[in-house]
Amino acid sequence: MKKYIKRMRKNFLLGCLLACILGACTSTRHQEHINKMYLLVGSYCTPLEEGIKVYQWDNERGEATYVSGLRGISNPSYQTVSADGKRVYSVGEDDGLTSTAHALSFDKEEGKLSLVNTLLTNGGAPCYINLSPDEQYVVTANYMGGSLTMFPLEESGRLGENSRLFQFEGTGPDKSRQEQSHLHCANFTPDGRFLLANDLGADKIHVFPLTDNGLLADEGTFDVTLEPGSGPRHLCFSEDGKSVYLLNELSGKVTAFTYDGNGLKPMQYIVADSVGGRGSADIHLSPDGKFLYASNRLKADGIAIFKVDDATGMLTKVGYQLTGIHPRNFVITHDGRFLLVACRESNVIQIFGRDAVTGLLKDTGKKIETSQPVCLTFVD
């Protein structure tokens, strides 16, 4: 009996040791996964230039190393990536009938992009593209076209030919910026029930219910009407999906909504741009959901910083970080240590360290020099 107990104790200790080793290996692989990622950079450029560049991001050092670049696309200013990181979809943000959407493949071993196919959006200046939750189609927001274009995806990831165009009409009080509908963003709700399309020109969020197979419904659409002259641009959701934060380009305000699975209800209006630049751009929550960041351009270019109330989702402004000229899009690393901002007119991507306790940013002095960067996307 004693030998049996001794043997069982030995097996138990060996099992614990093995579990610790496996756990350590898993933790190490996870850390390596965080420390070594790719960064895709979309930009404004001619087809002769490298419009989407690929960098290796070293999260330990907070540095990026150039890997490759893709030529052949005019103004690939925004991109989205599939869950496995092997497919990339980009816009070609031209103003007129030559506006395009592109399917790309991404070789994660080599860090190289390849063009798969290209189709016309039939809506001018597509400035945003998003992949549906089931990855069965992509949607572009066409700024000058005042429209959305939906492309079905083939099994190979190619853009399908049977696209659908959703056209909008509307104006706002700003006669120079709101003379027509200007679609600027298209986001799916985390619960997969709706697509929200921000119309800067009409001061509305167009809401599309999704069908059982995930497609945009023909019936049941409705609008969320915003403050006149606000100019809705980008938005983001809290991790639990119950709070929505909308950045308005023209008013410079963040509108905080509650979301109950059926619609949006405003709960707060708070200023991100306090100097009247009328160029607010991008908005993101920190990975822990405790802080919200909003970029502003044209005057006092920089990023407004807000603390998020854990219980209510309400915002309190706690800081402002000046950046280079024209901070368009920005991205936060998965662990929240760094914030990278694309300063288009400075031709750099600035790298800021982020204080997880205060939410404040500090310029690391490190940067990525590249021509007219617009969109930043990490690929695991």
Query: At residue 4, does pLDDT exceed 50?
Result: no
Structure confidence at residue 11 as a pLDDT band (50, 70, 90): low
Q: How far apart are CA 337 and CA 321, in angstroms?
A: 16
Tokens of 149: 């274009």
For 146-185, the pLDDT digits (tens) are 999 999 999 999 999 999 999 999 999 999 999 999 999 9
Q: What domains are there in the chain, each with its CATH number? A: 36-379 (2.130.10.10)
Structure confidence at residue 9 as a pLDDT band (50, 70, 90): low
Q: How far apart are CA 266 and CA 163, in angstroms?
A: 33
Closest alpha carbon to 227 in 248, 206, 198: 248
Tokens of 320: 């402002």
Q: Count of H helices and E strands in the chain?
A: 1, 28
For 351-360, the pLDDT digits (tens) are 999 999 999 9
Q: How far is CA 81 from the centre of its chain?
A: 10
Can you tell me which residue has the tokens 């610790």? 20
Can you tell me which residue has the tokens 């007129």? 96
Tokens of 346: 């400075």
Closest alpha carbon to 124 in 166, 93, 167: 93
Structure confidence at residue 208 as a pLDDT band (50, 70, 90): very high
Q: How far apart are CA 183 and CA 169, in angstroms?
A: 10
For 14-67, the pLDDT digits (tens) are 544 444 444 554 444 444 555 679 999 999 999 999 999 999 999 999 999 999
For 261-273, the pLDDT digits (tens) are 999 999 999 999 9
The predicted model scores a pTM of: 0.91
Q: Which residues contact 287 (CB under 8 A, 6 or more apart)?
A: 332, 334, 335, 336
Q: Mean pLDDT for the chain?
A: 93
Structure confidence at residue 96 as a pLDDT band (50, 70, 90): confident
In this structure, the chain runs to a length of 380
